[in-house]
Structures are given as C-alpha cells and as structure tokens.
Chain A
Amino acid sequence: GEDVEQSLFLSVREGDSSVINCTYTDSSSTYLYWYKQEPGAGLQLLTYIFSNMDMKQDQRLTVLLNKKDKHLSLRIADTQTGDSAIYFCAERENTGFQKLVFGTGTRLLVSP
C-alpha cells in the first residue's frame, strides 16, 4: 500500500529557514499536502501542490516536488517560534475522494 515517510524532528533557531522533507510511494497521487498540527489541536492545511507542478510559493512557504524521486519538501523562511508544531505531509490516493495518506509527522522546534 501507499506509504509516506518523514524525519521525526527538526530544530532551528528563530529567523533561520526550516526545510521539512517527505517521501511518498504512490506515483498516481494527484495532490500532495502539508498540514500543521499545534499541541492539542486538529490539523490545519498549510498548502498543497498539484502533481503537475514542481514548485509552489505562498508567502513564507515554498513547496518543492520531485515526481521522479517522489520527494516533497516544505521550506519555511524566517522561521518564528509560533511555527513550532508538527508538520504532516499527505498524499491523496487516486480514489476520486479525499482519502489522504499521512506521514508520521515532523516535530519542528524553533528556539529563540
């Protein structure tokens, strides 16, 4: 079945850039997503990328997609302490509805 993998932890200093990486297995995925989860809360969609795109930029967020290697990354520029959270990569199964396969999440810790 489909599998999505992420590194577990990332620690950066405030003001630095953060890069969170993700690999997936389903080459037929049409959309890939980055969700953010703050402690005790639900998931909030940060951004998404369609599979025919290589890059998408949205303010401080840059998503890069390498379809050949099935690699997705999220770059957060000028990381702030408020960015500390768990970041989940997800791919959408090619089922015609929003069945998402999530990675295990990367815990980002931003220190002052």
Chain B
Amino acid sequence: NAGVMQNPRHLVRRRGQEARLRCSPMKGHSHVYWYRQLPEEGLKFMVYLQKENIIDESGMPKERFSAEFPKEGPSILRIQQVVRGDSAAYFCASSPQAGANTGELFFGEGSRLTVL
C-alpha cells in the first residue's frame, strides 16, 4: 500500500523560473494538504484541497503560488517566478476524510526546492 508520493524529491530553480511540485495521496484518500518548512523551522500550513476544490488556502502567499487537485492525477503546487525565499521543503499530506477521528495526517517525504 503506497504512501503519499511526492516528486520531485529535490528541485533546483533559478530566480524567475517556475517550480511544480506533485503529490499523489495515499490510496483512498481524497483530502490533500500542503505544508512548507523553512530551514530550521516547523511546518506551516499552506492549503487544503479536496478533489477539484480548494477548501482553505489561508496559508498560501497571495501572489505566485497556486494549488490544484484535479479529478484525475496528482495534486500540484505551482510557484511562479521563484525567489530565494521560496527555498524550503514542501510537504504534502493526505487524510481519508475531513474530520477523521484521530486527525492523523499521512505525510510524504517532501520536495526540497532550492532557488539559486
């Protein structure tokens, strides 16, 4: 039973380029979360999506960042015109339903973005 799959694991971009990070949730999970971890910091919530819907994007920067979770295929976190401050580890997590009893999130191994 595959866990949450993220790719790429490592991504290097120059300032001004675009970064696309992909996340396939665990089988049977229809809820996807994206978190960002800056160096030496904890994880910060970015966005929560269900299939074809953004439910809460209160943690997303207003510009350059977008996320989607289409009916078919993985969830995508897209960062346009990257800047050095976007360098971080981006973690995707999934859950089977919105208010699952334990509230456990299943995390992927993260995508580490480095902006030169």
A-side interface residues toward B, CB under 8 Å? 4, 30-31, 33, 35, 40-45, 48, 88, 92, 95-105
Further pairs besides A42-B110, A48-B104, A97-B98: 5, Cβ < 8 Å: A4-B42, A97-B31, A98-B33, A98-B98, A105-B42
Q: Name the B residues within 8 Å of A44 (CB-CB).
A: 107
A sample of 27 cross-chain residue pairs with beta-carbon separation below 8 angstroms, ordered by A number, consists of A41-B110, A42-B108, A42-B109, A42-B110, A43-B91, A43-B105, A45-B105, A48-B103, A48-B104, A88-B43, A92-B103, A97-B56, A97-B95, A98-B31, A98-B95, A98-B98, A98-B105, A99-B33, A99-B48, A100-B43, A100-B45, A100-B103, A100-B105, A102-B35, A102-B43, A103-B42, A104-B40
Q: Name the B residues within 8 Å of A35 (CB-CB).
A: 107
Q: Name the B residues within 8 Å of A41 (CB-CB).
A: 109-110
Q: Which residue of A lies closest to B59 (CB)?
A: A99
Interface string of B52-70 (1 = CB under 8 A from A): 0001100000000000000
B42 engages A104 (CB within 8 Å): yes
Known A43-B91, A95-B56, A97-B55; judge A102-B105 contact (CB<8 A): no
The one of B45, B102, B110 that contacts A99, using a Cβ cutoff of 8 Å: B45
Cα distance, A4 to B44, chains bound together (Å)? 11
Cα distance, A7 to B33, chains bound together (Å)? 26
Please give the number of chain B residues whose Cβ is less than 8 angstroms from any Cβ of chain A in the complex. 28
Top 8 nearest A-B pairs by Cβ distance?
Answer: A42-B107, A102-B42, A97-B98, A43-B107, A102-B43, A104-B42, A42-B109, A31-B103
The one of A96, A101, A103 that contacts B98, using a Cβ cutoff of 8 Å: A96
Cα distance, A103 to B45, chains bound together (Å)? 12
Of A43, A102, A103, A105, most buried by chain B (CB within 10 Å of CB) is A43
Interface string of B99-115 (1 = CB under 8 A from A): 11011111111100000
